[in-house]
Amino acid sequence: MPAPLHLISQSVDVLSIILIGSDDVNNTWKLSGYNNINCKFEFQNASWDMLKFIELEIQQTENDSDWLGALIMSMEMLKVYEE
């Protein structure tokens, strides 16, 4: 199984994981009404920790959330990251 290890360890892709409908609120816009949106990983190179989180820790919730708000927040994060 050397191929996946090589792909992750040599990754130059930068990504972020944002959860919508989350029990937790962890975003810089939580005071602006963006509730139940959790920025679990800020922009960084792909890592095994991210993959483990996706595979083992994400749980379905019954919380409502605004997917458009999460998209707007993501675009703002991307704008800040590019600066």
Band the pLDDT of 52: cuts 50, 70, 90: very high
Reply yes or no on whether the pLDDT at 2 is more than 60: no
**What pLDDT digit, counting tens, does each position of 62-79 carry?**
888 888 888 888 888 888
Provide the number of structural domains found in the chain.
1
Range of the domain at 53: 2-82
- Torsions phi, psi for 41 (to 5 deg): -130, 120
Question: Who has greater pLDDT, 64 or 32?
Answer: 64
Provide the token pair at 38: 């959790």
How far is CA 44 from each of CA 38, 56, 77, rounded to the nearest angstrom? 16, 20, 12
Q: How many helices (H) and strands (E) does the chain have?
A: 3, 2
CATH code for the domain in which residue 26 is found: 3.40.50.410
Q: What is the pLDDT of residue 69?
A: 82
